[in-house]
Amino acid sequence: MNNIKKIIGLLCIILGLLAEYYLITAITSGSLVKNPEENMIFALTVIPVSIPVILGGLVLFGYYAFKGEYDTVE
Amino acid sequence: MASQPVDNKTIWTVIWASSIGTLIEWYDFYIFGTLTAIISIQFFPSENPTAALLAALAAFAAGFIVRPFGALVFGRLGDLVGRKYTFLVTLLLMGLSTFAIGLIPSYKTFAAAPFLVLLLRLVQGLALGGEYGGAATYVSEHVTAEVRGYYTSFIQTTATLGLFLALGVIWITKQQVGTEAFNEWGWRIPFLISAFLVAVSVFIRLRMAESPLFSKIKAEGKISTNPLKESFGNKTNMKMVLLALFGATAGQGVVWYTGQFYANSFIQNTLKVHDDQRVSLMLIAIALATPFFVVFGKWSDKIGRKWIMMAGMLIAVCSYMPIYKTMDSLANETEKTLVPDKSTKMSVMAASTKNPLDIITTTTTYNTYTDDTYIETVTKETKWADATQTTIKPEVKKTVYLSKSNYWMMLFLVFIQIIFVTMVYGPIAAFLVELFPTRIRYSSMSLPYHIGNGIFGGLTPFIATALAATGGAARFNGLYYPIAIAGICLIIGTIFLSNKIDENVED
């Protein structure tokens, strides 16, 4: 089970980085939302919030899991 | 268990006082979201309706995004000065800001109205961010481990009942004053009613005593001096915060909002079901499903919190697509057979009020289908007197009246989505409470709850609508967002979470 936790940790790091990259490129290129006003709302709300949550949160969670910090959590 | 046994009567008073206040906070929060379309006309420049709606949606999103900040501000306060006074402050802030929105003159007469509305919406978000953690902590710190899931599940019913109350009050007000008057001024009534509801709730809460566990650690001088640092600066606790977020609350948030808000928005905006049918089926589905919060909360005391929550996420992930495709088939005319004998079409031509030489043709089509679904389509087309003027796209308004059997089927499909909500949400207060120690419980449980519920969940209608906006086969694309988030959460929760019930939260 601890090895699975490590693999999931690694996947979370990759997922967090990819998700953040996709979000930022999709929003800045306007491919997620065609309407410019709506896209601006996305840019102003989703990007600043997603950075601490996805990069700071999911990647950190993945890092802890990969390092085996959750191996003994009950 | 609690430091001193609390009698049954006191527990029910605690639950009542906590739940009624939290219910009112949710009501306050949701009337804004439910009335977004009217608010956009009243408070945001009307030259561009899309921009107006988006501006209101931004305010809606802002209401969700500030919730985690409210969790930090009031969580800290709750761990420093106590649960009782903190959730009194959040209740007052919420009530006053809601009441004030109801009093603001429209943009036409007060240019600063949009900014003021946005500001008050942010205050609502902050207040809500502080409320839930306080109520859940307060109740759980009065009860023993074997009934913690059961008693805290009453707090869990409040979010759904708040939506029920918001939809119900709006619907009744609309029926009483008429649609035109409601759009003009009647929409203010649900906001103004809040003042009365909050006053009653504050009165009830003022008579309550502080949580026994908090009082105990306060008497022993064990209160945290810096709850935020202890909660999020301490690696051991931070690991639990991240686990709570990615293993439970993020998935719970998207399931919650998909089952109630996205379902409502899909029936209204995509399927174009008549308002009376939509509101009534939502109300009935919510009323029928709400007791299941308590059922799953109580069951979690016996079998643990984890597997009920995970089962809810699993069923939701697997069934969203078929559910929404079935909902679509119930109202989509392309999948139905027309009965020509029961279908009519009539056109009326009239001069435009702006320029009498321009002719507006209004064509109304009434189509009846073999399954007794009835669709009214009103098309308004303008023929300009000046031939050089650019032709504008005809304005089309479609209203679907579901047949009796389709109505009940639609209701059932919303009901089962709310059942998923009750599975993931019913046990979660007890689960979060058991994860963190008393001295930093308010701060620690509030943040993952509001990031999960507020950000991941609250942005569901917003992101899902954007994903589905490309039209055609993409009308179900919006579901990929909740499916992906709930799926990730399900995997993390299944592997990392413990199903063990913490017998002693007095730590």
Asked whether B124 and B158 are in contact (CB, 8 A), the reply is no
Strand B374-383 to strand B359-368: parallel, antiparallel, or no bridges (unpaired)?
antiparallel
**CB spacing of B495 vs A42 below 8 angstroms:** no
- pLDDT band, very low/low/confident/very high, at B500 (cuts 50, 70, 90): confident
- Report, as an integer, the average pLDDT of B328-343: 87
- Report pLDDT digits (tens) over B254-277: 999 999 888 988 898 889 999 999
| Interface with A, mutate which of B44, B54, B235, B246 (most A CBs under 10 A) | B246
Place of tokens 């109801």: B102
- pLDDT band, very low/low/confident/very high, at B2 (cuts 50, 70, 90): very low
- pLDDT band, very low/low/confident/very high, at B32 (cuts 50, 70, 90): confident
**CB spacing of A38 vs B61 below 8 angstroms:** no
How many Cβ pairs within 8 Å bridge chains A and B?
69
DSSP alpha helix (H) spans, chain A: 2-29, 36-50, 59-66
Asked whether B6 and B143 are in contact (CB, 8 A), the reply is yes
**Predicted pLDDT of residue B1:** 45
Residues of chain B positioned with their CB less than 8 A from the CB of A42: 466
3-state class (DSSP) for residue B375: strand
- Report pLDDT digits (tens) over B163-207: 899 999 999 999 999 989 999 999 999 999 999 989 998 888 888
Amino acid making up residue B483: I
Which of B339-343, B378-382, B386-390, B411-415 is modeled with the greatest confidence?
A: B411-415
CA distance A38 to chain B (A): 6
**Predicted pLDDT of residue B265:** 86
Whole-model pTM: value is 0.89
CA–CA dist B167, B282 (Å, integer) = 9
Nearest residue, CB atoms, A41 vs list B58, B235, B238: B58
Residues of chain A positioned with their CB less than 8 A from the CB of B500: 74
**CB-based contacts of B247, cutoff 8 Å, min separation 6:** B489, B492, B493, B496, B497
**CB spacing of A41 vs B50 below 8 angstroms:** no
**Predicted pLDDT of residue B470:** 55
Closest residue in chain A to residue B66, using alpha carbons only = A49
CA–CA dist B47, B56 (Å, integer) = 14
**Predicted pLDDT of residue A27:** 76
Asked whether B455 and B69 are in contact (CB, 8 A), the reply is no
Res. A44: pLDDT tops 50: yes
Nearest residue, CB atoms, A74 vs list B246, B488, B500: B500
3-state secondary structure B276-318: HHHHHHHHHHHHHHCHHHHHHHHHHHHHCCHHHHHHHHHHHHH
**CB-based contacts of B234, cutoff 8 Å, min separation 6:** none
Residues of chain B positioned with their CB less than 8 A from the CB of A15: 488
Residues of chain B positioned with their CB less than 8 A from the CB of A34: 469-470
**CB-based contacts of B343, cutoff 8 Å, min separation 6:** B365, B366, B367, B368
**Predicted pLDDT of residue B349:** 86
**CB spacing of A74 vs B491 below 8 angstroms:** no
Place of tokens 């059997």: B405
**CB-based contacts of B317, cutoff 8 Å, min separation 6:** B483, B486, B487, B490
**CB spacing of B242 vs A61 below 8 angstroms:** yes
3-state class (DSSP) for residue B438: helix
**Predicted pLDDT of residue B426:** 94
Strand blocks (E) in B335-452: 344-351, 359-368, 374-383, 395-401
- Please report the residues numbered 452 through 471 in chain B whose beta carbons come closer than 8 angstroms to any beta carbon of chain A: 455, 459, 463, 466-467, 469-470
User: In this prediction, what percent of chain B has a pLDDT beyond 90?
Assistant: 50
Nearest residue, CB atoms, A37 vs list B54, B245, B488: B54
- pLDDT band, very low/low/confident/very high, at A35 (cuts 50, 70, 90): low
Sign for the CA dihedral angle at B54, A19, B317, B451 comes to negative
- Report pLDDT digits (tens) over B77-102: 999 999 988 989 999 999 999 999 99
| Interface with A, mutate which of B305, B492, B500 (most A CBs under 10 A) | B492
3-state class (DSSP) for residue A55: helix
Sign for the CA dihedral angle at B311, B316, B318, B323 comes to positive
ipTM of this model?
0.91
- Report pLDDT digits (tens) over B208-266: 888 888 889 889 888 888 999 988 998 999 999 999 999 999 999 999 999 988 898 88
CA–CA dist B48, B141 (Å, integer) = 51
For every residue of B482-507, DSSP letters joined together read: HHHHHHHHHHHHHHH------S----
- Please report the residues numbered 326 through 385 in chain B whose beta carbons come closer than 8 angstroms to any beta carbon of chain A: none
Q: What is the DSSP letter of B361?
A: E
CA–CA dist B45, B112 (Å, integer) = 11
**CB spacing of A65 vs B496 below 8 angstroms:** yes
Whole-number mean pLDDT of chain B? Answer: 88
3-state secondary structure B2-14: CCCCCCHHHHHHH
Nearest residue, CB atoms, A8 vs list B51, B61, B492: B492
Taking CB atoms within 8 Å and a gap of at least 24, the contacts of B382-388 are B382/B352, B382/B358, B383/B358, B383/B359, B384/B358, B385/B355, B385/B357, B385/B358, B385/B359
- pLDDT band, very low/low/confident/very high, at A70 (cuts 50, 70, 90): very high
- Please report the residues numbered 480 through 499 in chain B whose beta carbons come closer than 8 angstroms to any beta carbon of chain A: 488, 491-492, 495-496, 498
Res. B459: pLDDT tops 90: no
Give the distance from CA B246 to its chain's centroid: 20
3-state class (DSSP) for residue B272: coil
- Residues facing residue B400 across a β-bridge: B273, B375
Nearest residue, CB atoms, B496 vs list A5, A35, A37: A5
**CB spacing of A5 vs B498 below 8 angstroms:** no
Q: Which of B236, B231, B140 is nearest to B440 (CA)?
A: B231
Structure tokens at B147: 């009934």
**Predicted pLDDT of residue B57:** 57
User: In this prediction, what percent of chain B has a pLDDT beyond 70?
Assistant: 93
Taking any CB pair shorter than 8 Å as contact, residues of chain A touching chain B are 1, 4-5, 8, 12, 15, 32-35, 37-38, 41-42, 44-46, 49, 53, 57-58, 60-61, 64-65, 69-70, 73-74
Closest residue in chain B to residue A60, using alpha carbons only = B242
CA–CA dist A43, A23 (Å, integer) = 9
**Predicted pLDDT of residue B40:** 78
**CB spacing of B50 vs A4 below 8 angstroms:** no
